[in-house]
Structures are given as structure tokens and as C-alpha cells.
């Protein structure tokens, strides 16, 4: 089952997506592409793993961490599939980050490694844009880098965990304007899905809808206004997003 949230006639609807990729309402009608807006498919705490692929750690000249480096995103930053992310003026380093996102399915507190997968409800795709110009490296991944309005596309839908028998063998790809820029595999995760669920649940209670962005492999590149960015996790989904300038964004707010 693929579950999504959309905005249709100014109402938020929970819908499903069928094998043909069509959006089906709770009443069973098929909605035409273009007649609705995709929303983030889940609401909850958004955890993000920094440096969870060894190759990405090397790319950033970091040594691989011995404990998960987790930070949080605030909900303002999440946007749905096929939406626009604005690039602030006068910056040089805006990078996409294609990530497998784990969605918690039931309340989890002090869960063991062995039980952890029982608490995974599904998966989706995330694009964790970073404005690296603003990175004050050792003062935590500042919210200005990672939690900006429109900076985190997620979706299009949540696919049930049962449909992804092995989340640790999925190809991850990013395309800018159709050109392949990033490719990796979730088999290279430093801390895998059960480890992350167990680790976080031992710090705090996880609740349904909480998201764990599992990190990105190497292959960073800059993006520019006008770029169409597609991030894809094999079997999970394809998430498209367009970069716009700050001026364009401010104009959209004014309207």
C-alpha cells in the first residue's frame, strides 16, 4: 500500500496511490494529475542523520562517527512532491541530499535491535537540501542550513514496510535536469535502520509518523534556480522538485 496526503479543493485528503501511480481518494475516485497538490506524507519528529555513509564522510573530510550524529528538522521545512524549493540569494553551495526516510508505524520506547523493525511502518524518499555557506561546522547543523522554509521535499508517498523486504539493499540516485549526479546504495549505511530506531527509542518515545532521514551517500553537486532535481530510492519512490530564486519565492508569498 502507498499512502499519501494531498491538497484538493483546499482540503487535506489522505489518499492511496495505485500500481499505475494514480491517486485514489477514500471514496475510490481517481484524481487527475494537476488537480491537486502533493503534501508531505507524514507529520512527526524529523530526525536526520549526518554522515551516515562512509564515502560521504570521506567526501566531507570527516572520519566516520562511532555514534549516530542525529539532528532535528522543524516542520516548516517539509514540502511535498513536485513543489518548489527556493535558493537564498548570494550563496554558492546549495547541495541536494537524496535519502531513504524511515517512517515510524507504532509507538516505540526502549526498543531492542531485534524488535526494532516491528516499529517501522513504511518508507519514503527525502531530499535534505543544505545551504553549506551557512554551515558553522561545530555549532551543530544549524537550522539555517537545514530547516529553512521549503528546504526539505519528502514523498511522494509512504510505502508500507512489508513491501520493502530489505531496506539495506536499495539504490539511491539523484538526477539534475535528467543527468545522473549521485548514486549509492543503502547497503553502505554506517548505522542501519534497526540500529537507528533502537538508538532513538532509547533516548525518547517515538510516535507514528516520526521520520528518520537516514543520510546520503557521496556525490554532492550544486543546484541553481531553474534546475529540476529528482531523487529516487529504488522500490520506494521518485521525488521531483524544482529550484527557484529567492525573488521568485518572495513573489509567490506576496500572491
Which chain residues interact with other proteins by CB under 8 A?
A: 45, 47, 50, 68-77, 88, 109, 134, 136-144, 147-149, 203-205, 207, 253
Q: Are 125 and 100 in contact (CB under 8 A)?
A: yes
- Residue found under cell 546520503: 216
Cβ proximity of 123 and 159 under 8 Å: yes
Under DSSP, the state recorded for 46 is E
The answer to whether 8 and 125 are in contact (CB under 8 A) is: no
For 223, the grid coordinates are 543546484
DSSP 25: -
Instruction: Report the distance separating Cα 99 and Cα 217, nearest Å.
Output: 8
What is the phi/psi pair of residue 33, to 5°? -55, 135
What residues pair up with 212 in beta bridges, in sequence order? 47, 102
Cα atoms found within 13 Å of the Cα of residue 78, Cβ hemisphere only: 25
- Least distance from other proteins to the Cβ atom of residue 229, Å: 20
Amino acid at each position: 500500500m502507498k499512502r499519501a496526503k494531498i491538497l484538493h479543493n483546499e482540503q487535506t485528503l489522505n489518499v492511496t496511490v495505485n500500481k499505475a501511480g494514480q491517486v485514489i481518494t477514500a471514496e475510490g475516485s481517481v484524481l487527475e494529475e494537476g488537480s491537486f497538490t502533493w503534501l508531505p506524507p507524514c507529520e512527526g519528529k524529523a530526525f536526520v542523520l549526518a554522515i551516515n555513509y562512509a564515502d560521504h564522510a570521506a567526501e566531507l573530510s570527516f572520519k566516520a562517527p562511532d555514534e549516530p550524529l542525529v539532528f532535528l528538522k522543524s516542520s516548516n521545512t517539509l514540502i511535498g512532491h513536485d513543489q518548489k524549493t527556493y535558493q537564498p540569494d548570494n550563496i554558492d553551495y546549495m547541495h541536494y541530499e537524496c535519502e531513504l526516510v524511515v517512517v515510524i508505524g507504532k509507538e516505540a520506547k526502549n526498543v531492542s535491535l531485534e524488535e526494532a523493525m516491528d516499529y517501522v511502518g513504511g518508507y519514503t524518499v527525502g531530499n535534505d537540501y543544505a545551504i553549506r555557506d551557512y554551515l558553522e561546522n561545530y555549532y551543530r547543523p544549524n537550522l539555517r542550513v537545514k530547516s529553512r522554509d521549503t528546504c526539505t521535499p519528502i514523498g511522494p508517498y509512504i510505502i508500507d514496510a512489508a513491501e520493502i523486504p530489505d531496506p539495506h539493499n536499495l539504490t539511491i540516485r539523484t538526477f539534475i535536469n535528467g543527468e545522473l549526479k549521485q548514486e549509492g546504495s543503502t547497503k553502505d549505511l554506517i548505522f542501519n535502520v534497526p540500529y537507528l530506531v533502537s538508538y532513538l527509542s532509547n533516548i525518547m518515545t517515538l510516535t507514528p509518523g516520526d521520520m528518520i532521514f537516514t543520510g546520503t551517500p557521496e556525490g554532492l553537486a550544486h543546484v541553481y534556480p531553474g534546475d529540476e532535481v529528482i531523487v529516487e530510492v529504488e522500490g520506494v519512490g521518485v521525488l521531483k522538485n524544482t529550484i527557484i530564486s529567492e525573488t521568485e519565492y518572495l513573489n509567490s508569498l506576496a500572491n
